[in-house]
Amino acid sequence: MEPSILIIDNKVSSYALLQHLLPRAIEQTHVIHYNPDRATRISKQELEHIRLLVIGDDFLNLALYSELQRRYLRLPTLFLCDAESIKTTQITAQALPNASTLLRNQINLVHLRKAAFDLLNEGHQANIENAPPPSAEHAPEASDDDVDQTLYVGANSPSENTTPAPSAKDIAIDGYRIERELAEGGMGLIYLCTREETGEKAVLKTVSPKAENAVKLRAIERFDLEFEVISRIDNPHIVKLYDHGRVNGLSYTTMEYFDTGDLKQHLGTGISQQRALQYLVQIAKGLEAIHGAGIIHRDLKPANIMFRSDGTLAILDFGIAHDITRHLRLTQSGTKLGTPSYMSPEQGKGGYRTDARSDLYALGVMLYELLAGKRPYRGKVAKVMQDHLHAPIPQLPSQYWELQPVLEKLMAKFPQDRFESAYDLSHYLREEYRFDTLLDFDIDDTGNLISGQHDPKAHF
């Protein structure tokens, strides 16, 4: 089979022009087109003969490209972009060892020939002979297990962090006693420690020391911004942060320790409608505080909702949050994108800017999962993203019919059709369902609090 050029793009006009020009720009090559909007598939034999990737700047294209690079290939890449997206696309390209950008309105034989020549002669093409053999069953889409994991694009993927992390005995931070390693994060290790002043357990999150390069600088910058964002929010439903700094080249943050797990671990235990509402309103209260501080979380999901020992919930992991007060994103192009199962349509390619209502959409997905015991849209990444955009809002199991209006106002495809804010959601639950969002009690028709005994006249 002759060498191939793989185009991952869902803009038909660009593809038609590329299909005509690329074989002339790079002789003796075969052009393959993968459109994420359609049910197409690439064979193992075709993947093994790819010389060059051409990627459109749409989110679905980038998500599929991320999986393709992560699983199988390290190939020269040409990113197609519009004038509006060229700056962010260039950042993505600069984070990769062998990539460049080309404006769609500059697609012609001369520009394609030069771009292809420069990429193919830089000597960075991966040896795919030694890569794990892909199968047509999985390429280039992500598996069903990946749709609740945060997607990465570019050199900042946590799987590519090969720097040895320091052990617990090598770390010394004033006021803390390091106990043991808890987990490995995207950029370093996470440790259990004890606050010497209070005796409380805490979590130490680190960014591992690395050689000076752009990837490290961006990682540390995001790490600093994440602390700054969360530390200005004081709310019982937001993770508590203690300290932040650097010691011996190691960047660290300490925060409260949750010893009872996250919401994801509780999904399979069977959750009642009343309990699901209690979780919903607690998360909504946390979102009120976040949005009130000018922050959009953008990666709300059960794994980022933690349980305290007293049963209260707290939101954490602001690694891809957006600070709208200063127009700062804690992530940059070339890094995290979001978690497909919980992403709002506008985070994909819905044509709207993300705002507080994007987090409410994710909360709707979580409400459905709490009550139905499964995610509303399942399958591989491309299908899940398309379902968020176009599939009907799912129906709750019949016993939860009263909450269907809430779900529909949370998971509406267009932001303007959702609740305007987390406060509006809390107010709606109180007014329409007589469910108090501050205390776990019902309220009767006159507004009086009812005791913990369930009122048969109340909805829940």
User: How confident is the model over 162-190, as pLDDT tens digits?
Assistant: 455 565 556 788 899 999 888 876 567 88
DSSP 374-401: S-SS-SSHHHHHHHHHHSPPPPPPGGGG
Q: Which one of the listed residues 299, 317, 323, 359 is annotated catalytic?
A: 299
Domains in the chain, ordered, with CATH?
A: 4-141 (3.40.50.2300), 158-256 (3.30.200.20), 263-433 (1.10.510.10)
Model confidence at 23, in pLDDT bands (50, 70, 90)?
confident
Q: What is the mean pLDDT of residues 190-200?
A: 92
DSSP 108-163: SHHHHHHHHHHHHTSS----GGGSPPP-TTTSSSPPGGGTTS-EE-STT-GGG--S
Query: Catalytic site residue 299?
Result: yes
User: How confident is the model over 251-294, as pLDDT tens digits?
Assistant: 889 999 998 889 998 886 668 888 888 899 999 999 999 998 88
DSSP 61-104: HHHHHHHHHHHT----EEEEE-TTTHHHHHHHHHTSSSEEEEEG
Burial label, 325 (beta-carbon count in 10 A; 0-12, 13-18, 19+)? exposed
User: How confident is the model over 384-435, as pLDDT tens digits?
Assistant: 888 998 999 999 999 999 899 999 999 999 999 999 999 999 889 888 776 5
Instruction: Look at 334 and 110; give whichever has higher pLDDT.
Output: 110
- The two tokens of residue 66 are 């991320």
Share of the chain above pLDDT 70, in %: 68
Whether 457 has a pLDDT exceeding 80, the answer reads: no
Model confidence at 336, in pLDDT bands (50, 70, 90)?
very low
Query: Three-class SS of residue 246?
Result: strand
